[in-house]
């Protein structure tokens, strides 16, 4: 009885459909963990790059010099650095084309930074939809395998003259393994999604604040 109820035996003795469900859930879990590690590293690097660039930006340094360093690739780039490069580049270009038109300079810089901001946010948010889907769908996939396995277990009782717990327990246990694997795939995905969404939201706030502050600086320079 103990051998029959071991995890390996429950998986190998499960019906083909339940095994396919388990295999699908294991694949989702593997993809989720891959996404979690990649996204965690990406967010950590983006946060470090943002802090480093903010330190350089607010240090007493000429913005044109900082722009050249970023534009020429002589310093490590990041999301905020690319937003700055986009806005400063457009500001310089508009100032050369329309000298004295302060509003045109600011509008061009604002549009350019907003476009760069959106590109950076798209990159940061890539993969979150998969984690959300994995976290919400995996338990239901596991539940489907469980229901199917329990159905087979009770159908098998039709050929047994005397139904006992020992007769039905292995089949029900096999079915419940699918639910356990579904939860194993869902829980890390949900936790990681909530954490990453919070971190990305904080980065988004920092980017927005920087854009507004940088536009104020450009406005003073243009005048």
Assign 177 a pLDDT band (cuts: 50, 70, 90): confident
Tokens of 90: 């457009």
pLDDT at 198 over 90: yes
Q: What are phi and psi of 24, to 5 degrees?
A: -60, -45
| Tokens 């798209």, located at residue | 122
| Tokens 């990453």, located at residue | 196
Assign 151 a pLDDT band (cuts: 50, 70, 90): confident
pLDDT value at residue 160: 61
pLDDT value at residue 113: 94
Domain boundaries, the chain: 7-222
pLDDT at 2 over 60: no
Tokens of 103: 């509003």
Put residue 127 in one of left, alpha, beta given phi > 0 → left and psi -120 to 50 → alpha.
left
Radius of gyration of the chain (CA): 28
Q: How many CB atoms lie within 10 A of CB 146?
A: 22
Whether 175 contacts 147, CB under 8 Å: yes
Q: Tell me: the pLDDT tens digits for 37-49?
A: 999 999 999 999 9
Question: DSSP per residue over 3-32, as a string?
Answer: TTTSHHHHHHTS-HHHHHHHHHHHHHHHHH
Mean pLDDT of 149-166: 67
List the single range of 150-154, 167-171, 203-207, 219-223 with lowest mean pLDDT. Answer: 167-171
Rounded-to-integer distance, Cα 191 and Cα 199, Å: 13
Number of H helices, E strands in the chain: 7, 0
pLDDT value at residue 19: 82
Q: Tell me: the pLDDT tens digits for 115-143?
A: 999 999 999 999 999 999 999 999 999 88
Q: What is the mean pLDDT of the chain?
A: 85
Assign 193 a pLDDT band (cuts: 50, 70, 90): very high
pLDDT value at residue 9: 64
List the single range of 44-53, 63-72, 162-171 with lowest mean pLDDT. Answer: 162-171
Return the percentage of the chain with pLDDT > 90, whole number.
Answer: 48
Distances (CA, A) of 20 to 23, 131, 133, 155, 181: 5, 21, 19, 20, 12
Assign 145 a pLDDT band (cuts: 50, 70, 90): confident
pLDDT value at residue 171: 67
Distance of CA 130 to the CA centre of its chain: 8
Mean pLDDT of 184-193: 94
Assign 180 a pLDDT band (cuts: 50, 70, 90): confident
């Amino acid at each position: 009885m103990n051998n029959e109820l071991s995890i390996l035996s429950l998986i190998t003795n499960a019906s083909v459909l339940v095994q396919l469900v388990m295999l699908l859930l294991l694949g989702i879990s593997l993809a989720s963990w891959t996404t979690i590690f990649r996204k965690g590293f990406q967010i950590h690097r983006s946060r470090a790059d943002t802090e480093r660039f903010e330190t350089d930006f607010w240090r007493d340094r000429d913005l044109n010099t900082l722009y050249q360093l970023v534009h020429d690739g002589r310093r490590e780039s990041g999301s905020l650095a690319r937003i700055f490069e986009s806005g400063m580049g457009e500001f310089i270009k508009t100032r050369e084309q329309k000298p004295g038109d302060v509003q045109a300079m600011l509008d061009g810089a604002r549009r350019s930074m907003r476009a760069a901001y959106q590109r950076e946010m798209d990159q940061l948010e890539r993969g979150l939809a998969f984690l959300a889907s994995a976290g919400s769908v995996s338990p239901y996939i596991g539940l489907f395998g469980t229901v199917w396995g329990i159905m087979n277990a009770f159908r098998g009782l039709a050929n047994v003259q005397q139904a006992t717990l020992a007769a039905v327990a292995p089949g029900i246990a096999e079915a419940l393994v699918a639910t356990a694997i579904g939860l194993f795939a869902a829980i890390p995905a949900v936790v990681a999604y909530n954490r990453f969404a919070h971190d990305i939201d904080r980065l988004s706030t920092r980017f927005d604040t920087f854009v507004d502050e940088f536009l104020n600086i450009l406005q003073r320079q243009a005048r």
